[in-house]
Amino acid sequence: MPKINSLFFDVGGVLLSNAWDHEQRAMALKKFEVDAVDFQERHEMVVSSFERGKISLHEYLERTIFCHPRRFTKEEFCQYMFSLSQPDPAALDLARKLAGSGRYFMATINNESKDLNLYRIQHFDLRGIFSLFVSSCFVGLRKPEEGIYRLALETTQRPAEECCFIDDRAINLESASRLGMHVIRMKNASQLQQEFAKLGVSPE
C-alpha cells in the first residue's frame, strides 16, 4: 500500500460542531421564535448559493429570516449563529499533532458559508493546522460532488492513493473513494486515531 502523506479533513462534525446544520438551525429558530416551515422553504432555495459563496451571510439572512419584521437584530442573530460553533478538543489535538509532526500535508475539504468558515478558521486557529482550505465557499463546489475532491487533488498535485479524507458522513466519502483516496468515516477522536493507525498514519 502506498504511504499516506496527505490528510484532508472535513471540519464540521469532525474537528468542530457543524456550523449551520439542521441542529444549529433548529436551536436558532427556537431561540428567536422563527416559523420553521417558512424558514426551511426559504433556506432550501438559497443554501446551495450560500455555501458556494454566491451570496453573503447578509443576503442569506435577508432571504430567510429578515424577510419578515423581527423583534431582534441581524447582529444578535449572527452572534448566536457564531456561538453555536464548538470544538472537539480531542480531535483538534490529534490534528495538531499530525500537523506538528511535519510528516503530512494537511488540508480541509469542507462545505461552509464564507463568514462562518472564516470565523471558525480564525477562532479555532485552524491555520495553525492546515496549509490549504478547499472550502465550498472558496471554490464554488460542494461535497459530495466529485469536482471538489478532484480539485483538491489537482490543486495539491497529490496522488489519490497517497491521500486520506476524513468525514463524518458516508455520502461525502463516496466520491473521494472512487477517485482512489483512502477514506475514514469519523465517529470520535479515539476511533479516528485507531483508523489512522491501520493506515500507518501517526504523528510519531
Strand partners, 163: 6
Sign of torsion over alpha carbons 142, 143, 144, 147: positive
Q: Please choose, from the candidates 18, 74, 73, 22, the residue with its C-alpha nearest in 3D space to the C-alpha of residue 43.
A: 22
Q: Please compute the mean of the pLDDT values over residues 167-171 and round it to a whole number.
A: 98
- Is residue 1 one of the residues assigned to a domain? no
Last-in-domain residue among 83, 115, 130:
83
Residues 6+ apart with CB under 8 A from 204: 101
Which pLDDT does position 1 carry in this prediction? Answer: 63
Q: What is the CATH number of the domain that holds 130?
A: 3.40.50.1000
Q: At which residue does the C-alpha cell 461525502 appear? A: 172
- Is residue 175 one of the residues assigned to a domain? yes
CA distance linking residue 89 with residue 67, whole number of Å: 37
Do 101 and 181 reside in the same domain of the chain? yes
Last-in-domain residue among 31, 54, 83:
83
Residues 6+ apart with CB under 8 A from 8: 107, 108, 109, 134, 152, 163, 164, 165, 166, 176, 181
Do 42 and 97 reside in the same domain of the chain? no
Q: Please compute the mean of the pLDDT values over residues 2-17 and round it to a whole number.
A: 96
Mean pLDDT of the chain: 97
CA distance linking residue 175 with residue 180, whole number of Å: 9
DSSP run (H or E) holding 9: strand 6-9
Which pLDDT does position 204 carry in this prediction? Answer: 87
- Is residue 132 one of the residues assigned to a domain? yes
Do 54 and 98 reside in the same domain of the chain? no
pLDDT band at residue 163 under the 50/70/90 scheme: very high
pLDDT band at residue 2 under the 50/70/90 scheme: confident
Q: Which three cell numbers stand for residue 94?
A: 490529534
Do 50 and 66 reside in the same domain of the chain? yes
pLDDT band at residue 45 under the 50/70/90 scheme: very high
Host domain of residue 190: 6-18+87-198
Last-in-domain residue among 36, 66, 83:
83
Domain total for the chain? 2
